[in-house]
Structure 1
Amino acid sequence: MFTIGVVDETGVETKYITRKKLRKFLRIKTKSIDEPEFMMVLTNETIKQVARSLQRRDQPDNVGNAKVQRYLETDWDSFKDNPAFPLLVEYKDSVFRPELPEGLPEKRDIEHRIDVKDPNLAVYRQQWRQSPEQQREIVRWVIDMVKKKLIRPSISPHAAPTFCVRKPVGWRIVHDYRYLNSNTVRQSIPMTRKEDILDAMSGAYWFSTMDLMSAYYQVRMREEDIKYTAFQAPNGLWEYLVLPMGVCNAPATMHRLTSKLFRDLKNTKSFYDDIYVFTKSHSIEEHLEALRKTLGILRDNKLYVKLAKCVFCANEIPCLGDFVGRDGVRMDPDKVQTIKDWSVPRTQEELHSFLGLTGYVQRFCPEYASLTATMFALLKKQNKRNAKIHFNDEQLKNFKELKRRLCNPPVLHLPDFSKPMRLRTDASKFAVGGVLFQVVDGAERPIAYTSRKMKSAELNYPTQQQELLAIVHALAAFRIYCLDKPPIVETDHKSLEGLFTQKMANRRLARWYDILAEYQPTFSYLPGAKNGIADALSRRPDLQPETKFFHDLSVTSFNDTSFSLALSEVTTDTELATNIKKAHKKDREIQTIFAAIKRRTADPKPKRVSQHHKKYRCYSEADGFLWYQTPTDDVPRIVVPNDLKLRQTIISECHDTNYGSHPGAE
C-alpha cells in the first residue's frame, strides 16, 4: 500500500500513500476537489531528516549554534574531514549505529537491581485518564517497545501510572515510579565529581566526547526485580526487561557500569552515559590511539554510541554544562545567552530559578556572594514561591551587575598539580574573599574564586584575625588544591608573615593554627594596591552590616551611675543591639529619661527649667537607643540598662579582645 520515495522539494525519502490507494483503502466513492495528490506518513526519523535537510538548505556553512548543528548532522558525511574518520568507519557497525539492535542488551556482571524495604507491599497506583491522542501515542510506543523486546506483558501485583509529556516533536512517555522509589533501599555509591573530571583534563591538548545511545536501555534488569517495573497502558500491563527511566538507583547503576569499564584508562573519564577522551600530547596519533582503546572497550561490551552527540579530535568540547579546552574552562554560551535574556524576577519562584542558574556558574564570578546577598534576603521574607517581590535600587543594581559579569565571564585555568598553588586573600570590615591561581608563562591564571559575608560574631574580630579568617576560609574552599604542595598565601597584612612564630593569644587562634598546620602555607606580603581581586571580593558595600550606629572598636569607658553603664562605641552584631533596645523598654529609669527627652524636644526653651531638664541634659535619643555624652566627650556612648546578663555579654565582648583592658587569660 505504501510507497517509498521523494515527495517534496526537501529531497527526503519517506513513506507515502497515493490518493487512489487511500480512497480504495477507505472505500470512499465520492471525490473531493481539495484532496492532495498523496498523503505523507511521518515518523520521528522522517521529521529529523526534514529538519536536517532544511538546516543544510537555509543555514550558511558556519552555523552559529554548534550544538544544534551536531544534533542535526547525524550522517557520516559530516565527519569526513575529521582526523578520526577512518577510525570511526572501522567501528561503524559495532559501536556507531543509527539505533539500538533489536533484542535484549548484552548480559553483563552489572544489572540493575531493586531492593525493596517491604517485599510484601504491592505498590499499585490507579492510572489517571489520558486524552485520545495521548492514549494512541502510549499504545504506539508500547508496540514499538515490544517489537524491540525491551518490555513484555506482566502479571505483577505492582503497577505504576503512565502519562505523556510533550516534546518539541511528539510526546515523551513517562512512568510515575514515586511510590516504588519510596519503598526502595537507596544505594550509597560514591559518584565522580565534576571538578575531578575537569582537573584530570589539565594540560590536555586533544579532546573527544561520546554519548551512549539510550544508555538505560543498554542495561538489563535483574530477573527477580523485573516485576517491580510494571506499568499500566491502555492496552494492558507491561514490565521492563531493561533499566527504565524514573527509578531510583538508576544513575548509580549506570555509574557503576561505565566507571568499571574505563577505570584502567588514564586518558578516559566517564560521567554516567558521557565518555570523555583527552590526551596531553600534541600528536594526533596518540589521541587516536587513546580513542581506539575506548572504542574497543565499547565494542567488546556491546555498548552503542549516539553519533549525533559526539565530538572528536577537537581543541574544546562541551563537558558537564561547561566548555573545556586547551585554554581552560569557560561557560556554555547557551547559559550566557539565557542569563543575558533574563528579565527582572517578579516572584520568589522566578528569583529561585535565576539564583539556581547563576549558582551553578558562580565560580566564574569573583563577587558572586556579595552580589547575590541582597537578593537572597528577598527569599527569607515569605515562604511562598509565587509571592510577589520588588527589587529596590540596590538589589536592581546588583542584579544588573551580576548579569553583566556572567555575560563576560573569565576563562578559568585548569590546575597543574605539579606546580605550587598561590592563594591571594583579603578581609574588609564585613566580608572575606580569595582567589586561587597559578603563574603560567609569567602570567597569573585564575583557577577559582571565593567570597562570603562575615558572620555577626566575626565582625568583632581584630583586623589581624579577620585577615587570618580570610585565609582559613579560602584554604577550606580550595582544600584539595592545597594539600599536596604547601600553598603560597599572598596577603596585604604584613604581620601574618611571622604568624607561626607568634605566641598563641586565645583558643580561636590556636584552633586556626591547627588548621593551617595541615597545609603548611608560606606567607608572602603583597601591598594592598597590588591585591586588586581579593580586595574587591571583600569590600563590596552591599555586604556592610545593617547596624550603622556601631563603628570601629575603641577603648571601653564606664560612667558609674546608680542605674546604668555608659558604653562607648563597640563593634557588635545586630542581635546584641536588639537585646539592648529591648532592655531599654523594660528599664523604668531609662523610660523616665526618654519621657524627659520628649518633653525637652517639644519645648526646648521652657519658662521654668525643671530639675529633670538639668539632670538629663547629657542624654539624647537616636535610632531607638539612649545615648550619653558630656561636653568633654568626643562621641556619644550608648547607655546599657541595669541588666546583669546583658552587662556581662558586653564586658566579655570588650574584655576578650586585643583592644580591651587586657587580652584575657587565654
Structure 2
Amino acid sequence: MKMVPSFYHQYLDVFSKVKAEKRSPHRPCDHHTELEGSLPPAGVIYSLSTQESDTLRAYISENVEKGFIRPSSCSTGAPVLFVKKKEGGLLLGVDYHKLNAVTRKNKNPVPPMNQLLNVFNGSSIFSKIDLCGAYKLLRIKEGDEHLTCFSTKYGSYEYLVMEFGLTNAPASFQNLVNDIFQDLHDLYVVVYLDDIMVFSKSEEKHVTHVSTALSRLRANNLFAKASKCLFHVSSVEYLGYVVSSEGLKMDQANVQQILNWPPPRNLKALQSFLGFTNFYRHLIKNSSMKISSLTSFLKKDSCFTLNEEALSQFHQLKDTFTTAPVLSHFNSLLPIILETYASNNALGPILSQVSDSGKHPISFDSRKSIPAELNYQIHGKKLLGIVWALNCWRAFLLSLSSPFEVLTIILLSNTSCLQTFLLAVKASGLNSSLNFTSQSLTTLAALSRRDNVYLESGEDFISKNLMSFQQLIKKDEVQPSRHFAVKVESFSNLIDSIQKALWPDSQYRSILQELGKGKYMQDYSLDSSSKLLLFKDQVVIPNDPKIQLSILQKRHDAPLAGHPGEDKTLKLVKQDFYWSGMTQFIKDYVSFCQQCSRNKNIHHKTFGLLKPLLIPNCPWICLSMDFITHCHCQTLLTQLLS
C-alpha cells in the first residue's frame, strides 16, 4: 500500500483486494431488468478453441467460488464471446443484445462530460479514485437473476452481480454513486461511473475532502484499486482530458492516436475518424468549418472519393490537434467575451474570459448550417450566430452578476429578423442590451458595466409595426460609445414625409376623416403615437413616388439588403409598408435595376451561334416572299402590274 499516502492509511481497507472480491450485499438501487415483452429467445452455443475452452472453465470456476454466478435452469441463455486483451490472453463477454432489445430502458442519465468538467475553477490540487471491480460491486435485484443467464457447453449460469453488456448497467451504477455522493457533487467531488475526482483549493482542505470520499466508499462497501488511484497531484488525466489549475487540455495519448490515424479508405473509416475527433470539438476553433469537405461524404447517396481537398483537410485537422489551446476554467466573477462567426455554411462561436493575464478561451463550438439556414441573408445568418451562441453557453451567461452587451453590425433595416432575434434573447432570460459596432466579428461582451439601454424583464420592447423600433433605441437613451462605429438610421424623416403626403392623397383622406371621428374601418387603424395610417399593421404609404422610391432604396439597394429579387424585395417591403399597386411598382423597379441586370444569374438556355444563310450559286435556288395584309386586292394588283 505504498501508493496510498499516510494521510489515508486509516482507510486501507477500502483498497483491500480480498474484500473487493467478495459479493456485495443487496441495496435499494440494485440493478433491475424490466421486460417490455416476453423473454428473449435462447442463444446458440458457439464452437470454442482450446484456449477459449480453458478461459471459460477458469472463468466459471473463479466466479462460482466468489459467489458472482450460480448454476441456472433458465431456458433463454445468451451466448458467450471472447475478445483478445492488449497484454495477451482472452476476455470473456456475454452477448446480451437479444435481452437488451426487449428491456425497458432506464432513463436515468449519465451526466454529460462537459458539465462535469466545468466545476474546477480555483482548484489547484487533485486526486483520482478508481473503483475496483466497478459493476460487480452492484447486485442484481432478487428475482431478476435468471434474466442474466448465459449458456455454455459446461452448463448454464446466471449472474448475482451486475455484468457488462446489460443495457441499463451504466445508468444503474451512476444511480448508485449519485446516491452516495449526492451532497458532495460539484463542491469538491465529481463522479462519472467508476471514476471519482476530488478537487480542492488547498492542501489542508484536500486531505479532509479525500478522507470524506473514502469514508463514503467504506460505508457503502465500495472498494478502490490503489494502482490506478492518484493522490495530491497538480494535474490529472480525467475522462480523456488533462485537468490542472490552468484549465483543460487534450490527453496526449489520444492526440497521438489521432496523429497516427491513416487516411480513411471508405465511409466507415471516415465515420470512425470524425467520431473520435468530435470528442474534442469544443477545444478546436471552427471545427465544423475545418471538416466541411469530409462531412460532405456523410450525406445520403454521396460517393466516397477522398479528393485532394478532402485529403488536405484531413491532414490539417490532424495538425490542429497539436496546437489546440488550453481551455481556462470558467469564473463567474470575470468578464466574458463571446465572439460569433457565421459563414455561408457554418456557425462558430468562441467563449473567452478576461483576467489580469489577458483573454483566455473557455470553450469553442461550431456546427454546419441546416438547409433552411443556407437561404438566410447575411444579417439573418449573423443574428442566428448570436442566438445559437447564447443557447450554447446559456448556463455560463446566466451565472454572470452583471448584464452583457450585444455588439453587432446588423442595422435595423430587416425588422423580421430583428424581431425574431429579440424574442429569442428575451425568451432565454438573459440580461442583455443591444448596441452596434463595425467590428468584423459579432461580440457579446460583459467588459463594461454600463447600465444604458438594458432590457428589463417584462418590458414590451417588441411591437408589430415600424414605430416599435423608434421606441426600442431612443437617441437620448444611448450614450456615446466607442462601440458605435455604424450610424443607426432613424425613421423620423421618413415618418414626417409620410405624414405630409398622406392627407393630400384623395385615396386615403376619407379614411383618415372617418377614423378621426372614431368610426370603425375594416383593416385600417391609426397609430396613437405617430398618427400614421395603418393597414393590417402595415404603414400606409401615399401615392408619392419619392417616398416609395426611398423605401425601395433601403430595402433593395442598401448594402445589407443585397439587391434581392422581386419576391424577396416585395416580402421585405410588405413587412412594414403598404400602398396601392405596390406589387407592380416593385416588379418594375427590380426589373429596371441596372446592378441586378448585370449580376443576376442567367436562367435560360445558352444563346445559339449566328448561322448566316447560304449564298445561292444560281437563280431560283432559294425563294422568299413577304405577305402583305390589310390592303385592297385591286390596288395591290394594279401596283404589281404597273
Question: TM-score when scaled to structure 1?
Answer: 0.65
Distance 1:512 1:529 in 2: 19
1:484-633 to 2 correspondence within 5 Å? Answer: 484-485=399-400, 488-489=404-405, 491=407, 493=409, 505-506=415-416, 508-517=417-426, 518-523=429-434, 528=439, 553-554=562-563, 556=565, 594=606, 597-600=607-610, 603=611
Contact 1:156 1:230 in 2 (8 A): yes
Structure 2 spans left out of the alignment, 5+ residues: 446-559, 567-583, 616-642
Aligned residue number for residue 267 of structure 2: 348
How far the C-alpha of 1:483 sits from its partner, in A, is 2.5
How far the C-alpha of 1:475 sits from its partner, in A, is 1.0
Letter matched to residue 598 of structure 1: G
Confirm or deny that 1:88 pairs with 2:4.
no
- Provide closer, same or farther for how the CA distance between residues 241 and 526 of structure 1 changes in structure 2, counting only shifts above 3 A: same
Distance 2:594 2:389 in 1: 34
Deviations 1:152-204 (A, max 9, x none): 11112221111211112211111111111112111111332212211122221
How far the C-alpha of 1:317 sits from its partner, in A, is 1.3
Contact 1:422 1:489 in 2 (8 A): no
Aligned residue number for residue 334 of structure 1: 253
Distance 1:456 1:112 in 2: 44
Q: Whose Rg is larger?
A: 2
Confirm or deny that 1:230 pairs with 2:149.
yes
How far the C-alpha of 1:149 sits from its partner, in A, is 1.2
Confirm or deny that 1:268 pairs with 2:189.
yes
Distance 2:443 2:175 in 1: 45
1:376-525 to 2 correspondence within 5 Å? Answer: 376-380=295-299, 382=301, 389-428=304-343, 431-455=346-370, 457-459=372-374, 461-485=376-400, 488-489=404-405, 491=407, 493=409, 505-506=415-416, 508-517=417-426, 518-523=429-434
Out of 160, 179, 182, the residue aligned to residue 101 of structure 2 is 182
How far the C-alpha of 1:335 sits from its partner, in A, is 1.2
How far the C-alpha of 1:312 sits from its partner, in A, is 0.9
Distance 1:336 1:513 in 2: 41
How far the C-alpha of 1:445 sits from its partner, in A, is 1.1
How far the C-alpha of 1:234 sits from its partner, in A, is 2.6
- Provide closer, same or farther for how the CA distance between residues 523 and 208 of structure 1 changes in structure 2, counting only shifts above 3 A: farther
Contact 2:73 2:156 in 1 (8 A): yes
Distance 2:128 2:319 in 1: 31
Question: TM-score when scaled to structure 2?
Answer: 0.68
Distance 1:347 1:299 in 2: 50
Aligned residue number for residue 240 of structure 2: 321
Contact 2:68 2:161 in 1 (8 A): yes
Q: Percent identity?
A: 28
Contact 1:421 1:487 in 2 (8 A): no
How far the C-alpha of 1:108 sits from its partner, in A, is 2.2
How far the C-alpha of 1:414 sits from its partner, in A, is 1.4
Aligned residue number for residue 44 of structure 2: 126
- Provide closer, same or farther for how the CA distance between residues 568 and 133 of structure 1 changes in structure 2, counting only shifts above 3 A: farther
Distance 2:293 2:254 in 1: 23
Distance 1:90 1:274 in 2: 22
Contact 2:131 2:224 in 1 (8 A): yes
Letter matched to residue 599 of structure 1: L
Contact 1:114 1:225 in 2 (8 A): yes
Contact 2:345 2:374 in 1 (8 A): yes
Contact 2:407 2:437 in 1 (8 A): yes
Distance 1:346 1:365 in 2: 25
Greater CA deviation, 476-485 or 348-357?
476-485
1:187-336 to 2 correspondence within 5 Å? Answer: 187-265=106-184, 266-279=187-200, 281-282=201-202, 284-336=203-255
Out of 57, 74, 77, the residue aligned to residue 156 of structure 1 is 74
Distance 2:260 2:386 in 1: 37
How far the C-alpha of 1:607 sits from its partner, in A, is 6.9
Structure 1 spans left out of the alignment, 5+ residues: 1-75, 497-501, 535-550, 585-590, 609-666
Deviations 1:481-508 (A, max 9, x none): 1223366356462x56xxxxx69822x4
Aligned alpha-carbon RMSD (Å): 3.3
Distance 1:372 1:450 in 2: 13
- Provide closer, same or farther for how the CA distance between residues 352 and 454 of structure 1 changes in structure 2, counting only shifts above 3 A: closer
